[in-house]
Every structure is written in C-alpha cells, then in structure tokens.
C-alpha cells in the first residue's frame, strides 16, 4: 500500500503519501503501480468529462478535459518534454544537451513542442469523443502511457553522471517491477479492449524502443525528463491511434 501511495505522490497532485519517508528502494517498488495510477487518472478524467459534457458543447468540454488532465499531473511530464526538446535541438553533444535540459528557462523548441502536443491531443480527444467508441478508452490511454517509463528504466542506463531526478528509478529498477507493471498495464488494456487494446500496447512498446534508441544517441541514456517526455508523447501516439480506429471499435 505504501508503494502505491508513493506512485500517486510522484505522478499526480493528489495530497496523498506526503508524510511517508521516501528512499530509492521505495521509489523503485512504487513503479509497478504506475499503470494503476494511470487507470485512476483516466477514471477521474472520464468522470470529469461526463460532468462538463452535460453543461458545455463538445469542443469546450474536451478543452476542459485536457486542462483537467494536465492539472492532475502537475504538468510534470510536459516540463520534461519541453526540456528534452530544447536540449536535443540546441545541444551539439550529449553533455551540452544535458546542460541545456537542466536550464530552468524554456526555449523556443520547448514552447512550440508543447503547443503542438497539446493541440494534437485536443484534436485526437475530440475526434474520439465525438465518435461511438467506448468512453472507457479514457481509462486505458493513461494506464498504457505510464507503463513506458518502467520499461525504459529497466533497459537503458541513466545519462547524468552527477545524478538527478529519476536516477534512483533508472539505476535500481528491477525486472520484478517491470513484470508486475507489464502484467497490470497489458492485462488491464487487453482485458478491457481486446484486440484494439493489444494494438495499443504494441504501439506503446514500439514507442518505448524508439525513445530508448533516440535518447541513447542524443544523451547517452535516459533521465527523468526523458521519462516524462516519453509518457506525454506515448499518450499522444495512443490518442492518435484511437482517433484513427475509433469508427471501428
């Protein structure tokens, strides 16, 4: 139970588990619950959308849903995405890119990337929610996306020699946590959605491999920022897939 509370504490703004003393071992143990936290976020998003959709037209309801989604995660993953875009675009070598990523200021690429990502998420959500596809997909997209950082942490090295956010998770990740996170994510998604769910998780696996390869080339490994970026872009990839197959599920 303690590990689950820590997962909630790290991935949401919910005021839960703040009193718990955290060490790297507990952070690693909490990672197996990341897909479950994603499912909870999806459930809250589903409930919130039902509430606002009863009062507003679909465009505004989807915009409010996206804002709720961002607020509930504290925009933590979006911050990581902006840092990665600035560093990977502006740096000439891994050390230079890592230095730029640590800068608290957001550059042009970071801003443009956030605008594009949120705009595409809005359009994909609108397309999906305007279709006849089951709304329970709102549960599954966040759950599937939060399997990605566990997978990446299990197979790629940590890039910052001086340490930083995500170091303990990446360096001490065990195959046991990956097993349980995979069982949770793949079991939930395929169990609820069947074949389309398998397609979604296959896409998340492919996206994880591409992220690992890309950040290994650019940075020499992964960091906390890259894990956040992978979650955000993995969710977008899932939403785009869903928007495309929505008429058929």
pLDDT in tens, 103-141: 888 888 999 999 999 999 999 999 888 877 777 788 899
Please give the pLDDT value at position 189.
92
Please give the pLDDT value at position 163.
65
Q: Which residues pair with 158 in a beta bridge?
A: 222
Q: Find out whether 77 and 229 touch, Cβ atoms under 8 Å.
A: yes
Q: Answer whether residue 40 shows pLDDT above 80.
A: yes
What is the token pair recorded at 8?
A: 């909630």
For 168-181, write each residue's pLDDT tens digit. 777 777 788 999 99
Please give the pLDDT value at position 91.
82
168 to 104, 119, 224, 234: CA distances (angstroms): 22, 33, 10, 22
Q: Answer whether residue 16 shows pLDDT above 90.
A: no
Q: Answer whether residue 167 shows pLDDT above 80.
A: no
| Cα–Cα distance, 118 to 67 (Å, whole number) | 10
Query: The tokens 């956040």 sit on which residue?
Result: 228
């Amino acid at each position: 139970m303690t590990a689950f509370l820590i997962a909630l504490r790290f991935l949401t703004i919910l005021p839960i588990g703040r009193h718990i003393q955290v060490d790297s071992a507990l952070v690693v143990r909490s990672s197996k619950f990341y897909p479950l936290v994603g499912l909870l976020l999806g459930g809250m998003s589903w409930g919130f959308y039902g509430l606002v959709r009863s009062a507003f037209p679909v465009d505004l309801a989807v915009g409010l849903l996206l804002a709720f989604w961002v607020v509930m995660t504290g925009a933590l993953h979006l911050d990581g995405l902006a840092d990665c875009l600035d560093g990977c675009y502006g740096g000439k070598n891994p050390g230079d890119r890592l230095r730029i990523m640590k800068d608290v200021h957001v550059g042009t690429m970071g801003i443009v990337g956030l605008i594009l990502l949120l705009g595409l998420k809005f359009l994909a959500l609108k397309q999906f929610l305007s279709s006849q596809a089951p709304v329970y997909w709102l549960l599954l997209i966040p759950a599937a996306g939060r399997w990605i950082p566990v997978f990446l942490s299990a197979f790629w090295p940590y890039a910052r020699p001086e340490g930083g956010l995500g170091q303990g998770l990446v360096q001490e990740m065990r195959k046991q946590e990956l097993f349980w996170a995979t069982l949770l994510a793949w079991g939930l998604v395929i169990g609820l959605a069947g074949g389309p769910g398998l397609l979604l998780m296959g896409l998340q696996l492919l996206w994880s491999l591409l992220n690992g390869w890309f950040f290994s080339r650019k940075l020499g490994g992964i960091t906390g920022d890259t894990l956040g970026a992978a979650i955000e872009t993995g969710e977008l990839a899932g939403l785009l897939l869903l928007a495309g197959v929505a008429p058929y599920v």
